[in-house]
Structure 1
Amino acid sequence: MSLTHNKARLKWACRRGMLELDVLFMPFVDEAWDQLSDQQKQVFERLLECDDPELFAWFMGHEECKDEQLNAMVQLILNRVKV
C-alpha cells in the first residue's frame, strides 16, 4: 500500500533505528511533503525502503547513492537541512 495518501503511515515509516535518520526524515515530512510532486513522493517512499546503514552512509557523505532518483532525493533532504 502506498504511503503517499496516508501521512500518519508515512510518518511511522520515517521512524528509523537511527536518531540521525529520524532527525532528517521527520521534519522533512512535516515541512516539505505537501510541496513534493507525485513522482518525488514515490521516490521518497522508495528511499524509505532502503536499509538504515545504506541511508546513513548516503546522508553522512560516506558513500554516494548510485540510483539517480534516490540520490536526488537525498540531496534535496540534505539541502533543506542546511537552509
Structure 2
Amino acid sequence: MFEQKRLARLKWACRRGMLELDVLLLPFVEEAFGDLTYEKQVVFERLLTSDDPDLFAWIMGHQKCDDPELADMVATIVNRVKV
C-alpha cells in the first residue's frame, strides 16, 4: 500500500503538460489506483516517468509501447476509461 505522502506525489505527477492526459490520469488514480495490486501500482508510478508525447501516443493507440508492463498498464487505463 502506498503511504499518503507517496500517493500525494503520484497525484501531482498525474498533472501533465497536456490536458488530454490530465483528464485521464488523475481520475484513474482517484478512482482505480487503490484497486491495483502493489506491483501494478509501482508499474503505474513508473509509467508516469514517461514523456507526455509517448504517453499520449500509447493511450490514443498511435504507437505501441515496447515495455510489456507499461503496455499492460496503458491498456488498463484505456479499458477503465471505456467502462
Which interval holds the TM-score relative to the shorter structure?
Answer: over 0.9
Match of 1:34 in 2: 34
Match of 2:25 in 1: 25
Ranges of 4+ aligned residues in structure 1 off by more than 4 Å: none
Match of 1:14 in 2: 14
Partner-residue secondary structure (3-state), 2:32? helix
- Which 5+ residue runs of structure 2 have no aligned equivalent? none
Match of 2:64 in 1: 64
Distance 2:70 2:7 in 1: 20
Letter in 2 for 1:19: L
Distance 2:46 2:33 in 1: 14
Query: 1:82 deviation in Å?
Result: 0.2
Match of 1:44 in 2: 44
- The number of aligned residues is 80
Distance 1:7 1:69 in 2: 20
Q: TM-score, length-normalised on structure 1?
A: 0.92
Among all aligned residue pairs of Structure 1 and Structure 2, give the percentage whose two residues are the same amino acid. Answer: 62
